Chains A and B, each alone.
Chain A
Amino acid sequence: MDTELGWWGVLIAVIGGAVRVSSPYLFVALGETLTERAGRVNLGLEGTLVLGAMTAFATSYLTGSPWLGVLAAGGAGTLLGTLHALICNLPRVNDIAVGIALFIFGTGLAFYLGKDFVVPRADMLPGLPLGDWSDIPAVQSALEISPLFLLGVELAFFLQWAIYNTRWGLVLRMAGENAEAGRALGLSVPLIRLSATAAGGFLSGIGGAFLSLYYPGNWNEGLSSGQGLMAVALVIFARWNPVRCFWASLLFGGATALGPAVQTVGIASGYYLFNAAPYVMTLILLIWASSPREALVGAPREVSISR
């Protein structure tokens, strides 16, 4: 980083970092939005994210095709999502507890199967150099954007439209708002929730692929630092709205990029505190978005997390 940019450098790094770091948040948040819109909470998306990252990296390493890795990550996520939904479809099962179990199971499986892939290098996803017009390296690196990010942005707007303007979106919302009404119409609520949770797992898996194949772009056991978990809180902050999920993930991405960015201007002390910024921010946003008296604004009524 150019030292003469000084604090401007920090700003550029935070903005660039926000774009770069936000993708996993965005994909997990969109996946969780789908799941919660159908009336379930999947707290295990952190495990899905890690398993997706491992699967993507291993697939890319073994086949040489990073895009195949992205698909495989989505597939692994779909499997975990389906597992969550199938267990939750049983009677007397608490979906939040299943999420915690899946968190432990998913990370355990990823670390077990991924042990052999810690050392090798795999083929990475390419970036789109949108900053070539500038000759400042900081700006160039800030504007090198992953195609997955653009895909995520488009997906956010598409989901926003689909949830409110298609029959499919209406069915999804009905399962989340009033399962009885869905049943009265002859819809299978468990099936709707299964599809939504599986789709949510698919998206979270892709978020994991971004971690291992683009940024930071490697596979190790410390790859994810709770992004999958924070994304669940992010959905509450975004009030279950896909486009707001996009803005919120940029905000979270910026908070995550703050620690490394501040370090570049020579502030080394408090490194760990800056790294805690996203968690503290999540907590503050949760406190701000919650209310002691009523259910959260915009929350699907069947979702247990909002009551």
Chain B
Amino acid sequence: MSPSDADRASRQAMSPAGPNYAVLLGGPAREGVEAVTLSILALLGAFALFAVFVAVQGHDPVAVYRVLWLGAFGTSFSIENTLTLAAPIILTALCTLIPARIGLLVIGGEGALIMGGLGAVLAGMAITGLPGHLGILWCTLMGAVFGGAWVAMAGALKHWRGVNETIATLLLNYIAIALMFHLVTGPLRDLDVAIKAQSYAIPQAYAMGDLPGWSVHWGLVYGVVVIAGVHVFLRHTVTGFSMSVLGGNRRAAQMAGLNIGGLTLLAPGRGGAAGGLAGAIVVVAVHRAASESLVVGFGYTGILVAFLARQNPLAVVIVALVIGGIAASGGLLQRRFGMPDAATDLLLGMIFLAVLASNALAGRLFPAR
């Protein structure tokens, strides 16, 4: 950031309208409309780019997008698939979104998810006799605690040692993966499962069921409830407001006597708790054990979702459905066109680049007079 940028940012942050919500939150209606327009433009731009790419690869772009739609939202089966994928993505997006409120760029969703999955498994192994609902609650709670503690470490390092949080959380992702592999191939390995290395399973009674009439597990409800809670927390509580003050202007936060250390520790901690909850849900609803199946990149998809939603919790739900849909269509694209499974990753990467580039147009589409 050049000095002039910093200057402008601080002027915006201290303007009478309060912290610079326009960048992070949408804020007043004009900026909200602009943010939505920019995100849609970025999506369309990335879709156009991907169309050119698949055309060069010798596929018919129209047919590709028809199949993509079919795989994402075209049938009730694909809608259920998309909704199932959206649940963990909503939660890992919060791992980037909540710390972004205090100006930290945390990308530790993948590590938080894995630690949360491990936490749920350990909790389920430790206490087996609970009734089903309580057992699920206990496992998901411990998942959130594990994920939260994991990412809070990055906050602690930031506060006490000034360690860059982006690099620290990315390293913590790799360390979490290694730790998980160590545990499921060693101390926690269930030797009765011969096909692959996986941990002992949580009790059958703790398995999370499906929503009545759907083949979508309750994790989606968890995701939506947490999003609503985060929205209220960020917009309508003192701590939430303190976080935006700190994110908008650190000096102002110091002058106001805010507990900067606590906020720097707990913002990543809360984000990590959301990511950990994602991992716990994947465990109790799908695998019932920890294994390499936890490492599928939900954490990285969550970063993209947070940016595409422009760090607005309510927008995260819609964006997660779109991105979850793209991810869900990967298998169908693979079968119909013989595309590599990286096709959807590539499209997601293009969307990410387009979203960031579209920031250049912020404030220019509907200029204030």
Query: For the complex, is B304 an interface residue (Cβ under 8 Å from A)?
Result: yes
Most buried by B among A43, A87, A101: A101
- Taken together as a complex, chains A and B put the C-alpha atoms of A76 and B341 apart, in Å, by 22
User: Separation in Å of the B363 CB from the closest CB of chain A?
Assistant: 8
Query: For the complex, is B360 an interface residue (Cβ under 8 Å from A)?
Result: yes
A279 and B175 form a contact (CB under 8 A): yes
Query: For the complex, is B343 an interface residue (Cβ under 8 Å from A)?
Result: yes
Query: For the complex, is B353 an interface residue (Cβ under 8 Å from A)?
Result: yes
- Taken together as a complex, chains A and B put the C-alpha atoms of A106 and B300 apart, in Å, by 14
Question: Which of under 10, 10 to 19, 20 to 34, or 35 or more describes the interface residues of A?
Answer: 35 or more
A105 and B352 form a contact (CB under 8 A): yes
Q: A105 and B350 in contact (CB under 8 A), knowing A112-B340, A283-B175, A293-B162?
A: yes
Query: What chain A residues lie within 8 Å of B303 (beta carbons)?
Result: 100
> Which of A233, A292, A304 meets B160, CB within 8 Å?
A292
B359 and A100 form a contact (CB under 8 A): no
> Which of B1, B107, B168 meets A304, CB within 8 Å?
B1
Query: What chain B residues lie within 8 Å of A286 (beta carbons)?
Result: 157, 163-164, 167-168, 171
- Taken together as a complex, chains A and B put the C-alpha atoms of A230 and B304 apart, in Å, by 22
Query: For the complex, is A220 an interface residue (Cβ under 8 Å from B)?
Result: no
> Which of B159, B179, B186, B353 meets A101, CB within 8 Å?
B353
B343 and A291 form a contact (CB under 8 A): no
Query: What chain B residues lie within 8 Å of A102 (beta carbons)?
Result: 349, 353
What are 11 A-B contacts with C-beta separation under 8 Å? Answer: A43-B166, A93-B357, A94-B359, A110-B342, A111-B342, A180-B2, A271-B185, A276-B175, A279-B178, A286-B157, A292-B161
Measured CB to CB, the nearest residue on chain A to B339 is A112
Query: What chain B residues lie within 8 Å of A83 (beta carbons)?
Result: 353
A279 and B174 form a contact (CB under 8 A): yes
User: Separation in Å of the A96 CB from the closest CB of chain B?
Assistant: 6
Contact with A along B107-139 (1 / 0, CB 8 A): 100000000000000000000000000000000
Query: What chain A residues lie within 8 Å of B178 (beta carbons)?
Result: 272-273, 275-276, 279
Provide the main secondary structure of the chain A interface. helix
Query: What chain A residues lie within 8 Å of B181 (beta carbons)?
Result: 272
- Taken together as a complex, chains A and B put the C-alpha atoms of A150 and B161 apart, in Å, by 36
Measured CB to CB, the nearest residue on chain B to A102 is B353
Chain B stretch 259-281: residues in CB contact (< 8 A) with chain A: none
- Taken together as a complex, chains A and B put the C-alpha atoms of A180 and B159 apart, in Å, by 30
Chain B stretch 200-220: residues in CB contact (< 8 A) with chain A: none
Query: What chain B residues lie within 8 Å of A272 (beta carbons)?
Result: 178-179, 181-182, 185
Query: What chain B residues lie within 8 Å of A283 (beta carbons)?
Result: 168, 171-172, 175
B174 and A96 form a contact (CB under 8 A): no
- Taken together as a complex, chains A and B put the C-alpha atoms of A290 and B168 apart, in Å, by 12
> Which of A92, A101, A233, A269 meets B352, CB within 8 Å?
A101
Q: Which A residues have a C-beta under 8 Å from some C-beta of B?
A: 43, 83, 87, 90-94, 96-98, 100-102, 104-112, 115, 179-180, 225-226, 229-230, 232-233, 236, 269-273, 275-276, 279-280, 282-283, 286-287, 290-293, 302, 304-306
Measured CB to CB, the nearest residue on chain A to B163 is A290
Contact with A along B321-341 (1 / 0, CB 8 A): 000000000000000000111
Query: What chain B residues lie within 8 Å of A290 (beta carbons)?
Result: 157, 161-164
A93 and B356 form a contact (CB under 8 A): yes
Query: What chain A residues lie within 8 Å of B346 (beta carbons)?
Result: 105, 108-109, 111-112
Measured CB to CB, the nearest residue on chain B to A270 is B182
Minimum-distance CB pairs A-B, first 7: A105-B349, A111-B342, A276-B178, A108-B345, A90-B360, A101-B352, A108-B346
Query: What chain B residues lie within 8 Å of A43 (beta carbons)?
Result: 166-167, 170
Q: A291 and B162 in contact (CB under 8 A), knowing A90-B360, A279-B175?
A: yes
- Taken together as a complex, chains A and B put the C-alpha atoms of A91 and B361 apart, in Å, by 8
User: Separation in Å of the A256 CB from the closest CB of chain B?
Assistant: 12
| Given A87-B357, A112-B342, 5 other A-B residues pairs in contact with their CB atoms under 8 A | A90-B357, A109-B349, A112-B346, A282-B171, A290-B157
Measured CB to CB, the nearest residue on chain A to B157 is A287
Query: For the complex, is B150 an interface residue (Cβ under 8 Å from A)?
Result: no
User: Separation in Å of the A158 CB from the closest CB of chain B?
Assistant: 27
Query: For the complex, is B188 an interface residue (Cβ under 8 Å from A)?
Result: no
Measured CB to CB, the nearest residue on chain B to A46 is B170
- Taken together as a complex, chains A and B put the C-alpha atoms of A115 and B342 apart, in Å, by 9
B348 and A108 form a contact (CB under 8 A): yes
A112 and B343 form a contact (CB under 8 A): yes
Query: What chain A residues lie within 8 Å of B185 (beta carbons)?
Result: 271-272
